[in-house]
Structure formats: structure tokens, C-alpha cells
Amino acid sequence: MGELRLMKGNEAIAEAAIRAGCDGYFGYPITPQSEILEYLMAEKPYEKTGMVVLQAESEVASINMVYGGAGAGKMVMTTSSSPGVSLMQEGISYIAGAELPALLVNINRGGPGLGTIQPSQADYWQSTKGGGHGDYHLLVLAPASVQEMSDFVKLGFDLAFKYRNPVIIHSDGAIGQMMEKVVLFDPIPRRTDDEIKKQCPWATVGKTPDRKRSIITSLELDPGKQEQVNLRLQAKYRKMEAEEVRYEEIACDDAEYIFVAFGTSARICQKSIELARAKGYKVGLFRPITLYPFPVNPLRELSTKIKGILVVEMNAGQMIEDVKLAVSCSLKVEHYGRFGGIIPTPEEVTENLISKVIGG
Amino acid sequence: MEKTINKEQIRKPENLVYRRTPLLVDVPLSYCPGCGHGTAHRMIMEVIEEMGIQQDTIGIAPVGCSVLAYDFLDIDMQQAAHGRAPALATAIKRLWPDKFVFTYQGDGDLAAIGTAETIHACNRGEHFTMIFVNNGIYGMTGGQMAPTTLPHMRSSTSPYGRDVEIMGFPLKMTELITHLPGTYYVTRQSVHTPANVRKTKKAIRKAFENQKLKKGISFVEIVSNCNSGWKMNAVQANKWMEENMFPFYPLGDLKVDGQIVEKK
């Protein structure tokens, strides 16, 4: 049994990073996620586990530090919020193209532009559809509690190394800032140099006579070879789609209508279910935990048993496209969103389910 | 009877005047004939061979003419996004502090798009080596104006010569970082004559040896030619470089063992 603590979501990410055996964190301050860097600097893990913590000169630098560290076989991460993550997109594309393991965190805030520092889910497309240039996917985890902020750091690193692919924790300012109880997992020692060399024979750790030199690059000028690189990436994404789908169903057994929502919106929908059931409507929640790979098949299966869906997001309607594709538009799918940093109330969510889906 | 000597009799160790270091991969270089990159590569790899640190060296290739440096150097290497080599090197050196880490960048990479990464890596006093090849032009993309293009110098994006009123001034990045407390050794060399090649090799050796001291950045600028971009043959380019580049970018040490070298 791990240690029970009351923590902010951002603090839980920082503590989980130390406990997961992370080798290096590189970040730049931006609201609403600066507590992660602050927590790490206060904890001084470089004196305890040997984990490197560095405040970079920009998000551009921090993502490229992650690129360098990941190429050298280390367990590295960065965190930021929406405008900062936009700055990182070139580096993220390089990391995906060079097939390196890395953990990224986006504590979403309202946009576009400098937007607002309040919570949002408006970077769904950026996280799930690429974000940077070229055909690539991040593996996207969407926590809905402080507990999952902690758990997904460990899960994220595991998946990143399993697939040699960057993983992003797609969260928002509400979960980053709110405090909840969290059961922290027991600390895992950082890998030794020999363990790293064994686990990552592709890494740049110094060429020894027994092997060819390790080269970390996303460049392949020959289009024939570059197409093969792309085909290899696509095969990896198909494998993720087959094996890494995660989701949660709440009160779906007898449901006639469901919400589809992730993160903070999913938390709100849990209350909206109670409000709707008090009025006599049989309502459930389908919560994608992996936003990519999107839980297409489970949602399609569920959709055959229900009459309608309200997709609830803190954006103008992004995940709804994946929901409609999953159910092949075979039933009514409506959207309710608040944006620009506004968090919807459970009451307005329930009202919109009734007016747009049930009664409409 | 006439005495003949066959090749095998000539190929004796005592007759050897030049040998390619085995750390340079035996493939054709992608550089134009006459370009200084090949010589700069050779100096780095000879130093790594002589120091016996092949197993402990990690290099960072940039975007630019030397983007494919990892094809030529038989060490572990990473290819960085344009301008970001010092960010990669920062992380690698901090995560593997006992390895020798170096960046290899051109002027557009290091002094334009990568200005922030260059200055901040130097100012943090990271303990790696930076090699800066300055030929005053963007070579790979076809001869556009660089941050180091001289006033009045022609390029494809300054076809009437660099007009500093419109295009701004050349950036002396090496002088600039000399004054940052995080740099330990800063020097400017060239590889256009055998004597200069020897000086450059000595500088690179010092820059690598310095990593053991963990006292900050060792920075070696190599002023080089780009005969393709300059639209000259190699001989003309070297002459032009001596007459025009060196007065603006004078050769010699700027900072040694953490002390700024005072100009006489």
C-alpha cells in the first residue's frame, strides 16, 4: 500500500516523476502548471535519486533537451500548458520521428493565442491528431483525478519505452490546480547505466567495439526509405490501437443515454448523471482514458444499446468528431461545450442532455 | 640489373606521412570540393582517436551542410532540430556527466535560429564543447545571407551586397559569448593552410580536454570558406577569406582558462 497524501494535481505529477525513477525533467514556467517545476526544485531529487531538474530558457529548449536526453536512453520528461506546448511542436515531431520514449504533459488552458490561464480542453486536436508536422501520433492519456495524474506518470513512461514513442498526459488547469487525496506508488529506483544500455541498445551512450554506432535522427532523404519509416510508424500506431485502448463506463448498464467526456468534463458529468437520474432519466458516462488510441470499438458496442449521446467538452467540439466516427453517425450525437476557461456546471450539462438529446 | 621497388616496400610505417583516422567512416563526404568541413571533421576525429575516447563521446549534428555529419563520424551521434544542438547537448552532458559531448554547428544554426540556445548554454556554463563553423553564408539551402555575412557581401538574399541599413549587422557571436561567465575557453581558428589546421587541431584538443575540468563551455569557431555559396573556386575562396573574413573575424584565442585574452 502506497503513501496517502493530499496534493495538487501538478504536485502529484512532480512527485510521481521522482518515484517513477525519472532521470531528467526539463521545463519552463507557465501558468497553470508551474507548480511542477517548483515542486521538483524544492524537493531537490538530484540530491536523492540523482534525477536532473533544469529550468530551460524556453519551451523550445526544454523539448529539445528532452529529445537529447531521450536519445541517450534516459527517462526524461517536460511539462507545459497550451501556448508552451504549441512552441514545442517541432521538437515533439522530431521525437516521434526519431522514435524516442519521452513523457510530455499539457495542463490545458483556454486559447487561442495567449488566451487565458483558466482550464480548458481545447488542445484535444493538437494532442490526438499530431500537432506538429508529419504523420505521427502521440499516445494520449487523459486523467480525471489527482490520483490518475500520479498513476499516469508511471504508466506514461512504461508505454513510452514499450513503443519508443512520446506519450502525453493531456490534462487541464482544473485537475492541475485542485487538491485531492492520492495514494502514491512506492518509489522505483532509477535504472543503472548498465540497465539503460541493455534496455536501449539504440541509444547514444558511447560507441563500443561490439556494436555499430547509434544514430538518433528523423532524417531520411531517400523518399523510398522515408516511406518505409512512415510505414513502420503506422504499424506501431495500429498496434497501439489494438492493445492500448483504455476507457471507463459509469452507470452504463441500464443507460438509455450517455455522456461521452474526458478529464474535468467527465468529473462534472458524474454529477450530471445523478441529477438526470433524479429526474427519471437513465443516463451513464463513457470516459475515454486514452484519447489516442480512441476507444472506438467499446463506444461503438455501447452505442447499439442506447438512444443518444451528449459529448461534453471544455472546447467548441473536438472529440465529438471521433465519437461520430466511432458510432458511424448511427444515433443522435450532440455536443455541449464551454470554452475560454469556463467550466460547465452539472446542472447546465443535464439541461443540455435533456433539451438536445432526450427531448429534442 | 635495375633495382625496382614495389608498392609493398614503400608502404612501411616509417614512410607513412598521412593516414586517415579510422574514426572517419570511409564513405564519400557530402561536402563540395574545397570546403573546410571535411578538414574540421578530420581534426575532431583525430583528437577523439588520440584521446582514446571514442567509447565515451556523443556528438550532435545540426541542420545545415553538416546535417549528415553522423554518416562520416564513427561515434554515437544525434541529429538536432535547426539551432537546438546546445539544448540536446545540455541534457546529454547533464544526464551522462562523464561522457564527452560536443556540438557541431554552422553560422545560421548557431548564430541565427539557435541564438537563444547558444547563449543560454554558454551562460549556464555547461561542460561540453561547441564547434562553430562560420562561412558567412547558408550553404545547404543555396547561398542565402547568414547572420555572419559581411557588410556588402553578396548572397542570394542580399544580391546587391549586405546593406546593413536594411539587413542589419553581422553578429560576432564568438566575441559575444566570450564575455559570458559560463565560457571557459573561446578561440577562433581556420583550416585553410596546414599551419592553421595544426592550430585548429590543438584548439579542439584543448576544448575536449577541458571537459574533464567541468568549468564551462569550450568554444572553437572555425572561419571557413564556402566556394559554392561564394561563387568562387577553392583558391579564390581561401584568398577572399584571408582578405575579407579574417579582418572582421580575427583568428586567435579570445578566452583561455576562463580569462579573457586582452588585445594588444
Helix (H, G, I), strand (E, B) or coil at A103: strand
- Report CB contact under 8 Å: B99, A71: no
Closest CB from A24, A98, A214 relative to B91 = A24
Domain assignment present for residue B1? The answer is no
What value does the CA radius of gyration of chain A take, rounded to a whole number of Å?
21
* Set of cell numbers at residue A292: 489516442
Q: What is the mean pLDDT of residues B73-93?
A: 98
- What percentage of chain B carries pLDDT values higher than 70? 99
Least CA distance to A217: which residue of chain B?
B79
Q: Which residue in chain A has the smallest CA separation from B63?
A: A219
Smallest CA–CA distance, residue B174 to chain A, in Å, is 20
Q: What are phi and psi of A271, to 5 degrees?
A: -70, -40
pLDDT at A150: 98
* Closest Cβ–Cβ partner in B70, B81, B91 for A69: B91
Closest CA–CA distance from residue A213 to any residue of chain B (Å): 5
Amino acid identity, position B115: T
Q: Is the dihedral of CA A43, A46, A50, A53 positive or negative?
A: positive
A140-152 as b/e, with b when 16 or more CB fall inside 10 Å? bbbbbbbbbbbbb
In DSSP terms, B102 is beta-bridged to B59, B129
Q: Which residues of B touch A (CB under 8 A)?
A: 54-58, 60-61, 67-68, 70, 74-81, 84, 87-92, 94-96, 99, 116-117, 120
Helix residue ranges, H only, A178-262: 193-199, 223-243
Angle, CA A324 vertex, CA A360 and CA A263 arms, to 5°? 90
Q: Which of A61, A216, A217 sits opposite B87 (nearest CB)?
A: A61
Alpha-carbon distance of A62 to A103, in angstroms, equals: 12
Radius of gyration for chain B, computed over Cα atoms and rounded to the nearest angstrom: 19
A206 to B76: CB separation less than 8 angstroms, yes or no:
yes
Across the interface, whether the CB atoms of A74 and B70 are under 8 A apart is answered no
> B81 vs A208: CB contact, 8 Å cut-off?
no
Can you tell me which residue has the cell 507548480?
A35
Partner-chain contact B58 A205, CB within 8 Å: yes
In this prediction, residue A117 carries a pLDDT of 96
DSSP 3-state percent helix, strand, coil across chain A (nearest 5)? 45, 20, 35
| pLDDT given for residue A243 in this prediction | 98
| Cell of residue B65, nine digits | 551542410
**Please, what's the largest Cα pairwise distance for chain B?**
77
CATH code for A3-194?
3.40.50.970
Report chain B's mean pLDDT, rounded to a whole number. 96
Q: Write the secondary structure of A277-308 as one string of H (helix), E (strand) and C (coil).
A: HHCCCCEEEEEECEEECCCHHHHHHHHCCCCE
- Residue B61 domain flag: yes
Q: Which of B61, B79, B95 sits opposite A69 (nearest CB)?
A: B95
Judge whether B147 and B111 are in contact, CB under 8 Å. yes
* Chain A positions in Cβ-Cβ contact with residue B69 (cut-off 8 Å): none
Plot region of A50 (φ>0 → left; ψ -120 to 50 → alpha; else → beta): left
Q: Is the pLDDT of residue B1 over 60?
A: no
pLDDT in tens, B213-261: 999 999 999 999 999 999 999 999 999 999 999 999 999 999 999 999 9
Angle of helix A9-19 relative to helix A146-163, nearest 10 degrees, comes to: 40
pLDDT for A1: 65
With CA atoms as reference, report the closest residue to B207 among B57, B19, B70: B57
- The Cα–Cα gap between B160 and B154 comes to 6
Whether B58 sits inside 8 A of A204 (CB atoms) is yes
What single-letter DSSP state applies at residue B98?
T
Assign B16 a pLDDT band (cuts: 50, 70, 90). Answer: confident
Residues of A in contact with B58 (CB under 8 A): 72, 204-206
The residues with which A166 forms a beta bridge, in sequence order, are A102
Which residue on chain B is closest to A215 by alpha carbon?
A: B77
Cross-chain residue pair A64–B95, CB shorter than 8 Å: no
Cα–Cα distance measured from residue A295 to residue A288, given in angstroms and rounded to the nearest whole number: 6
ipTM value for the complex: 0.96
> For residues A233 and A139, what is the distance between their CA atoms, to the nearest angstrom?
13
Q: Determine the 3-state secondary structure of B36 from DSSP.
A: coil
Q: How many CB atoms lie within 10 A of CB B209?
A: 15
Domain boundaries, chain A: 3-194, 247-358
What pLDDT score does B12 carry?
83
Question: Which domain does B39 fall in, by range?
Answer: 30-260
- Residue B56: closest CA among chain A residues belongs to which residue? A206
How far apart are alpha carbons A143 and A246 in whole angstroms?
A: 11
Going by the DSSP 8-state scheme, the letter that residue A101 receives in this structure is -
Residue A128 is inside which H or E element, if any? helix A124-128
- Neighbour-count burial for A262-293, b at 16+ CB within 10 Å, e otherwise: bbbbbbbbbebbebbbeeebbbbbbbbbbbbb
A204–B76 CB contact, under 8 Å: yes
In order, the DSSP letters of B140-209 are TTTSEE-TTPPTT--BTTBTT---HHHH-PPP-HHHHHHTSTTEEEEEEEE-SSHHHHHHHHHHHHHHHH
Q: Edge-to-edge strands of the sheet including B100-106?
A: A215-216, B76-79, B57-61, B100-106, B129-134, B217-223, B183-190, B252-256, B259-260
Domain A247-358, classified CATH 3.20.20.450, yes or no: no
| Residue that the C-alpha cell 523510398 belongs to | A224
Q: Which residues in chain A touch residue B92, judged by CB atoms under 8 angstroms apart?
A: 68-69, 71-72, 204
Q: Are B81 and A72 an interchain contact pair (Cβ–Cβ within 8 Å)?
A: no
Residue type, position B232, single letter: M
Residue type, A307: K
> In which band, very low, low, confident or very high, does the pLDDT at B2 lie, cut at 50, 70 and 90?
low
Q: Is A35 exposed, middle or buried (0-12, 13-18, 19+ CB in 10 A)?
A: buried
Q: Determine whether A223 is exposed, middle or buried from the number of CB atoms within 10 Å of its CB (0-12, 13-18, 19+).
A: exposed
What's the pLDDT at A320?
Answer: 98
Question: Which residues on B lie below 8 Å from A65 (Cβ)?
Answer: 87-88, 90-91
Mutate to test the interface with A, among B58, B95, B102, B118 (most CBs of A within 10 A): B95
Question: What CATH number should be reported for the domain holding residue B250?
Answer: 3.40.50.970
Residue B264 has a CB neighbour count (10 Å cut-off) of 3
Low-confidence ranges of chain A (pLDDT < 70): 1, 360
Instruction: Assess if residue B73 is contained within a domain.
Output: yes
Residue B3 has pLDDT above 80, yes or no: no
Q: Decide if A64 and B99 are in contact by the 8 Å CB cutoff.
A: no
Domain count, chain B: 1
Average pLDDT rounded to a whole number, residues B132-136: 98
Residue B61 buriedness (CB in 10 A; 0-12 / 13-18 / 19+): buried
Does residue B220 contact residue B204 with C-beta atoms inside 8 Å? yes
Q: Using the beta-carbon criterion (under 8 Å), do A206 and B77 form an inter-chain contact? A: no
Nearest neighbour of A207 by CB, restricted to B54, B95, B120 = B54
Handedness of CA A6, A261, A283, A297 (dihedral sign): negative
**pLDDT value at B9 more than 70:** yes
